[in-house]
Amino acid sequence: MSRLLLFLGLALLLGGAAARRWLAPVPLRWLSTGLALLFVGAGLSVYQPLRELGLLAPADVLDYLTAVSAGRAALVLLLAATLFLVAEVQKLPALILAGLGGWALWGMAGIGHGGVHGDAVRGLHALHAGAMSIWLGGLGALLRVPAPERLAVARRFSPVAAACVGLLVLTGLGMSLEHIHSLRVLQSTPYGQTLLLKLLAFVGVLGAAFTVRRSLASTGPGRRLSLEVLALVAVLLLTARLGGLPLVH
């Protein structure tokens, strides 16, 4: 649950802010809701391991947040995300927003598998989460655009979505090579099976996205856009599930 809340929070905050600046007038409550989800998700990510150990005293929580890598990553995420929202409200330059967004993604990537494989793999996790956030946030913004204007906005978003797809494929491949060392584990372990389901769901997303892109040459995305959003949410659910499963050794 904590991973899902974190991913949804990033999509609303980072993806919503990107769409707000370059696509459509996304309401500020999207971003504030995203920040709230990040606080809840990060709080759960800290609470759950401490509860299992029976270490819930204030001193234990402080030690976890300052001495444990995952705890420090949660703090980085929340600090960067809060500053990101402030920067967007104050309409600071996009470069500052991008830096704070990257910092938030780096913190997010340190919570879970990305924090135990070194900086290179952590960077892959950060880029993966960032691409998914921008894609989902942009799709959500498109659903809010009035039908007469949606075609033009969708055409502007199309190359951004294509770049996100490419980045998701490349980073996903890199993470899979790091975490999966034999094809046999794809069928014999919960992690491998969930990864296969995610790949199938991603193929579904690509199929839905393809139909949307084809429709841009004629009448507009219409209901196909909703299917793409639903398929991407399914990928998000499976990604969150992967983050909670033990890695294959």
User: Over the chain (249 residues), what is each successive 10-residue block's mean pLDDT?
Assistant: 90 94 88 97 90 87 89 95 97 96 95 73 92 91 81 83 88 80 72 82 79 62 70 80 67
Backbone angles phi, psi at 145, to 5 degrees: -75, 135
Per-residue pLDDT reduced to its tens digit, 128-152: 999 999 999 998 888 888 877 777 8
Q: Is 54 exposed, middle or buried (0-12, 13-18, 19+ CB in 10 A)?
A: exposed
Cα separation, 84 vs 104, in Å, equals: 8
Residue 216 is predicted with a pLDDT of 60
> Looking at the 3D structure of the chain, how many domains does it have?
1
| 167 inside domain | yes
| 249 inside domain | no
Residue 40 is predicted with a pLDDT of 97
| 248 inside domain | no
| 196 inside domain | yes
CB 151, CB 42: distance < 8 Å: no
The conformation of residue 246, written as its DSSP 8-state character, comes to P
Cα separation, 18 vs 138, in Å, equals: 8
Domain that includes residue 60, residue range:
2-243
| 209 inside domain | yes
Per-residue pLDDT reduced to its tens digit, 207-247: 877 776 666 655 555 566 777 778 778 887 887 777 767 66
| 117 inside domain | yes
| 204 inside domain | yes
Residue 78 is predicted with a pLDDT of 97
The tally of CA atoms less than 13 A away on the side-chain side of residue 227 is: 15
Q: Each residue of 220-237: b (16+ CB within 10 Å) or e?
A: bbeebbebbbebbbbbbb
Cα separation, 74 vs 125, in Å, equals: 15
Residue 215 is predicted with a pLDDT of 66
Long-range CB contacts for residues 159-168, cutoff 8 Å, separation at least 24: 160/22, 160/134, 160/135, 161/135, 161/209, 163/131, 164/131, 164/132, 164/134, 164/135, 165/131, 165/135, 165/206, 165/209, 167/127, 167/128, 167/130, 167/131, 168/128, 168/131, 168/132, 168/135, 168/202
| 43 inside domain | yes
Q: Is 91 exposed, middle or buried (0-12, 13-18, 19+ CB in 10 A)?
A: exposed
Which of helix, strand or coil describes residue 121?
Answer: helix
What pTM did the predictor assign?
A: 0.85
Cα separation, 48 vs 65, in Å, equals: 13
